[in-house]
Structure 1
Amino acid sequence: MIPGADEARSLVLDEGTVPERLDRVLARVFDDLSRARLQGLVREGLVRCDGIVVRDPARKVGAGCRINLSVPAPLPAEPLGEALPLAVVHEDEDLIVIDKPAGLVVHPAAGHEDGTLVNRLIAHCGVSLSGIGGVRRPGIVHRLDKDTSGLLVVAKNDLAHQGLSAQFADHGRSGALERAYLALVWNVPEPRAGTIRANLARSRHNREKIAVVRDGEGREAITHYRVEDVHGEGGVTALLRCHLETGRTHQIRVHLSHRGHPLLGDAVYGGAFKTKAARLSEPARAALDVLGRQALHAVELGFLHPRSGERLRFESPLPADFSRLLAALG
């Protein structure tokens, strides 16, 4: 195909084919495009059945129908590419796994229009990005907070975006997706291994915060945790390994704060615990000041490759600021 040109695709349905929705037929045959993307192409008048433009994705098509599809060349990504450092853990034609440093915003937004992970990915991937939703851009299937470090996977085409999105939507309940975080918290949770089930929603008092709400409100949120280590006399702080069964905004931070164990350095959900820093040793207080963020790191990420079905699993070493704090708490 000529770069920048529309791509023409066609198929003829076999004799004996049972009448079926057009969008389902297209999604089954052209599985590198999402069903939503194909429905959009139909509505844009880019699909012909026996030479006639069809704009209804639910239109039934059957035996002998000749279908022609025109796929527009991907539009340039709206955010601009920026050739800035990027810690690539794994990359292939479908996806890229990044070890995100703390302080890096994932997607452009008000106040963070450039310098984001997306800007860096556009520059790094270049022409290897294909049209996700018709735009040449990386497909963000999950995010990490600006000040959370660790592993993040990004899709480079529609097929990968569909496959990864399905795994993240399932939240690992089928066993395909694994996500683990290391968190440093105040006090030692009891029991030392357990599950936090508490629905989350945007706070009514501060729209920039997430809050625990009553059952029947908000969205289901489930966090599994296990105490890995305890520091200080009487257990001033503890290192937890957390596994997500759901992936809500600020989930680990809110759940642990709700249980009385906010993350060290979390100014949003742990502000009431600032005075507890006085119980730390002088080296630990200094290391916490240097950290200057919530002590949360996405340490493990596993999933099935959306094209090959191969199980991929990655681990990220603790960043220097987190390691220094952990050693000082020692």
Structure 2
Amino acid sequence: MSTQTDQFLEEGPAAHQSPNELLAALQLPRQGRLYSLSVPRFTGMPVFGAHPPFDVSMYRTPAGLRGDGVKPWGEVNEVNLGYMAEVMSGTSHSGAHVDALAHMTIGDDDHWYGGAAAGTCLGDRGPTVGDGSKIPPFIRRGILLDVPGYRGINALPANEPVNAEELQAVARHQGVTITPGDVVMIRTGYMSEWPDPERMARHVTAGPDISAARWLLEQGVVAAGSDTETFEVQPAPDPGSPANPQPVHTLLLIENAIYLFESIYLEDLARDRVYEFLFVALPIKVKGATGSMLDPVAII
């Protein structure tokens, strides 16, 4: 029996990995070394300006259980066993994360990838099409393009665009080739100043411009990411006509279902000049979410 959502596309090319492609990715590691691509989340951590703050607060504590007279195990507790449980609040776009296809909308009808629009596919509990529960796992060949490393600096200045020509030059300099099915990470150096907001502000929102996005699309990537909170350069140096403040998100996420990773920690990979690796990211399947927090890893 068909449902209302059957008429909409909910998956990008990353969801269609063949068994042979998966096995090829798993054969990449040779050294058995693992790199974490995230930093710890904490109350008050830096997030994109329009997002709600991330917060952790305690819901249950040993003292609170006693004070409330709560006895989870009944009357028998001679050893004074207790427990702690917390409440986390914030957006799925806190820290290292991936955007769901329903994250960005455009047009008078507020539509997103696959034909879904707010008028029919957005409820009080989030989008019903292309939401966080539909994001696939990522077990792919990963490529790092270290732009400040190529330029010989620690981090790009604030609002600095990276175009297609430079990404190609970085790839040649590093001796890597982008192939269909890859996940490409673009380092700007922004996270090198984490979590100092004043120092991070000197490098905020550098990133790829629309020409770089077109090049990534031409290479057949299934996802791309960066160490910034916006992935693409802001403000857009080439917003087009009519003006679009985020043309890269529009081209990749809304029009082509290329998943976007943001706030990915790339400093250790860059330090060790690791440019090719097995990239593993397993999203949390949450219905109605517009993305998923991650703790991705690179394995070599």
Same fold (TM over 0.5): no
Q: Please state which structure has a larger fraction of its residues in strand.
A: 1
Q: Please state which structure has a larger fraction of its residues in helix.
A: 2
TM-score (norm 2): 0.24
More contact order relative to length (CA 8 Å, sep ≥ 6): 2
TM-score (norm 1): 0.22
